[in-house]
Amino acid sequence: MLEVHDLSVTIGRTEILKPTSFVLENGHSLALLGRNGAGKSTLVKALAGMLKYRGSVQLDGRVLDKVSYKERSQLIGYMAQDFAANSVRLTVFELLLMAQNSHNMRFSASHESIVRAQHMLSMLNIENLSERMSDEMSGGQRQKVALALALIRKPQLLLLDEPTSALDLANQLQLLERVLDYTRQQGICTLMVLHDLNQAHRYADQTMILESGSISAKGQTDKVLTAEQIAKSYGVHCEVFVGSDGSRSIHPLSAIVNF
């Protein structure tokens, strides 16, 4: 379980993230939403240990700023918003082996790590990229590999910052479906920054909306993502349709003038 209590981040003299508290159960997913500049990536980077923060973060009872760098990198899988082309001349398969042994520069890959790398490629349907050099891929292919690298160590907490921004529609659906099936089965807490509210409805158990560094709404996704809340948080009028199976979809109508 992820327990965040009064987490805040100050850069320079500005408190970018105001004291923020929430809990996420194992196997559950949380969509982190909000307009540009609201503080979503800042929150995710703080959880990933990339930014100094105040407050407390515990994962299954372990206080994260007390664990070693090695342990933290095993507990947390992080996929950045600006996943870059990797300049190392390694194949995707070699990268997946390295990621499992990143604290041992002279490793020889174990049978287990080879099997896990093969499983990850197959789960994300990217076996065709296995022997590809990491700097010889399209943006969408790189994003899928970045996702595989975040998941390969079977973390306790998976942090995905706009995980489908470079993917075509079919890949968006297929990838999130597969990743969230996996994290549910494995009991992994998943926090994903999303801009697509329909993806939040479809894939996230919980939703939290940030506005100017503070939480403006949080709770069960279908309770949070109402037409009223979307108008309040995004300045957009929309309709929310409920299907016969209870699934919801959001149809934006118009932006509120002078929001």
Ligand X SMILES: Nc1ncnc2c1ncn2[C@@H]1O[C@H](COP(=O)(O)OP(=O)(O)OP(=O)(O)O)[C@@H](O)[C@H]1O
Name the residues that contact ligand X, by CB under 6 A: 11, 16, 34, 36-42, 81
For 223, list phi and psi in degrees, rounded to 5: -85, -30
In the complex with ligand X, the residue whose CB is nearer, 57 or 124, is 57
For the CB of residue 51, give the shortest distance to ligand X in the complex, in Å.
8
Look at the block and give the residue holding tokens 């041992």: 104
In the complex with ligand X, the residue whose CB is nearer, 41 or 113, is 41
* DSSP letter, residue 187: T
Instruction: Take residue 235 and report the two structure tokens written for it.
Output: 């300045």
Using CA atoms, how far residue 137 sits from 36, 157, 178, 194, in Å, is 28, 27, 22, 24
SS (H, E, C) 126-184: CHHHCCCECCCCCHHHHHHHHHHHHHCCCCCEEEEECCCCCCCHHHHHHHHHHHHHHHH
For the CB of residue 36, give the shortest distance to ligand X in the complex, in Å.
3
In the complex with ligand X, the residue whose CB is nearer, 37 or 219, is 37
For the CB of residue 212, give the shortest distance to ligand X in the complex, in Å.
8
In the complex with ligand X, the residue whose CB is nearer, 40 or 153, is 40
Q: What does the alpha-carbon distance between residue 28 and residue 193 come to, in Å, rounded to a whole number?
A: 14
In the complex with ligand X, the residue whose CB is nearer, 39 or 163, is 39
For the CB of residue 23, give the shortest distance to ligand X in the complex, in Å.
21
In the complex with ligand X, the residue whose CB is nearer, 101 or 165, is 165
Q: What does the alpha-carbon distance between residue 31 and residue 22 come to, in Å, rounded to a whole number?
A: 12
For the CB of residue 80, give the shortest distance to ligand X in the complex, in Å.
11
Please say whether the beta carbons of 175 and 120 come within 8 A. Answer: no
Q: How many CB atoms lie within 10 A of CB 187?
A: 14
For the CB of residue 117, give the shortest distance to ligand X in the complex, in Å.
30
Look at the block and give the residue holding tokens 């933290």: 72
